[in-house]
Amino acid sequence: MFLVVLPFLVLVLVFSYLPLAGWATAFFDYKPALGLSGSEFVGLQWFRMLVSSPTQLQQIGQVMANTLAMSFLGIATSLLPVFFAMLLNEIRAPWFKNAVQTLTTLPNFISWVLVYMIAFSMFSTSGLVNSVLNDWGLITTPIKFLDTGEHVWLTMLLWSLWKGLGWGAIMYLAAITSIDPALYESARIDGAGRFQLMRYITFPQLMPTYVVLLVLSIANMLNNGMEQYYVFQNAFNKEHIQVLDLYVYNIGITGNSLSMATALGMLKSVISVLLLVTANAIAKRARGTSII
């Protein structure tokens, strides 16, 4: 029985565990053409180089600031899906509720490439918004919404909200339907109005779900992914858009320093696992069950 599972285990080993051997790259001056055996062993040189010169230090600092800023903005807005669900739940007409749900969750299922394409056709200098503003006589020169280094963190947040808010609320909407109706009944008998029901019954009942997701997002602080930032990246916003994952790609693949990128990625992986283990331990102590 083990034998039939074996091919799949081999896949897991090859694609998830074998790459760990690639960490060795971080300790060599890796040249793809020569392979690891032909490359020179340099010890911790790359790790030292990450923090050696003031320019390098400044760059890493900016990348960390971007990474943490995007993560914290995400965490700061993580209550929005809760409110979205609570308010949508107050809508009486089922057809309206369903239509809103379908339309607002749709953006979650398109790729970031497509989101960027939409952003481009709406907000580029020849895009819809600029041409509408121009026709209304509000501007004479097009506003550079995309090719700018200003408000990058904020616009990235807004795009992730556009894409993810509706979908983020789905889980809370389902959680609301599983709240014991007796709670509402007794609160009503006590004279609670609509807002009091929301404030004292619905909201607290959603908190356990919220806390689990919050802890997970704290554990994933360094993992913003690179796709969103890669597609929106350009010469103007590069300084503020480069999060850790994108930076690793940029220096490793585009900039061709595979060893240094591996060193950085390795640090990231280790810290992420430590964060997850810590978050899990805290959740375990607080709720008695582990989240992973």
Partner 1 sequence: MPKTSDALKRTRGDVPFALVNYVGFLLFALLCAYPFYFLIINSVSANDVSALGDIRLWPEGLHLSNYSQILQLDGLSAAAVVSVARTVIGTACTVLASAFLGYMFTQERMWKRSLWYRLIIFTMYFSAGLIPLYITMKTLGLTNSFWVYILPAIVQPFNIILVKTYVESMPRSLQEAAEIDGAGTIRTFFRIILPNMTPILATVAIFTAVAQWNSFQDTLLYITDQKLYSLQYLLYTYTNQANSLAQAAQNAQGNLGAIVSAATTQTPTSIRMTVAVLVVLPIIFIYPLFQRYFVKGIMLGAVKG
Among positions 74-93, residues that touch partner 1 (CB under 8 A) are 87-92
**Terminal Cα-to-Cα distance of the chain (whole angstroms):** 28
Per DSSP, helices labelled H in the chain are 2-12, 18-21, 35-38, 45-50, 54-76, 80-89, 94-105, 112-123, 128-135, 152-177, 181-189, 194-197, 203-219, 227-232, 238-241, 244-249, 258-287
Binding positions for partner 1, 197-226, rule CB under 8 A? 209, 212, 226
Q: According to CB under 8 A, which residues from 251 to 270 bind partner 1?
A: 252-253, 258, 261-262, 265-266, 268-269
Which of 79, 106, 154, 271 binds partner 1 (CB under 8 A)? It is 106
Interface residue with partner 1 among 60, 75, 118, 143 (CB under 8 A) is 118
User: Between residues 54 and 136, which has the closer beta carbon with respect to partner 1?
Assistant: 136
For residue 41, the cross-strand partners are 28
**Among 44-52, 56-64, 73-81, 190-198, which window interacts with partner 1 (CB under 8 A)?**
190-198
Q: To 10 degrees, the CA torsion angle through 107, 112, 114, 118? A: 80
For the segment 132-161, give every residue that binds partner 1 (CB under 8 A): 132
Q: Does 34 bind partner 1 (CB under 8 A)?
A: no
Which range binds partner 1 by CB under 8 A, 39-47, 70-78, 96-104, 235-243?
A: 96-104
Q: What are phi and psi of 3, to 5 degrees?
A: -60, -35
Sole binder of partner 1 in the list 15, 54, 55, 235 (CB under 8 A): 15
Residues in the chain: 292
Q: Is residue 109 close enough to count as binding partner 1 by CB under 8 A?
A: yes
* Cβ atoms of 192 and 200 closer than 8 Å: yes
Count of residues interacting with partner 1 (CB under 8 A):
90
- Taking the complex as a whole, the smallest distance from the CB of residue 57 to partner 1 amounts, in Å, to 21
Q: How far is CA 78 from the centre of its chain?
A: 11
CA atoms of 150 and 143, how far apart (whole Å): 12
Least distance in Å: CB of 262 to partner 1?
5
Nearer to partner 1, 59 or 220 (CB): 220
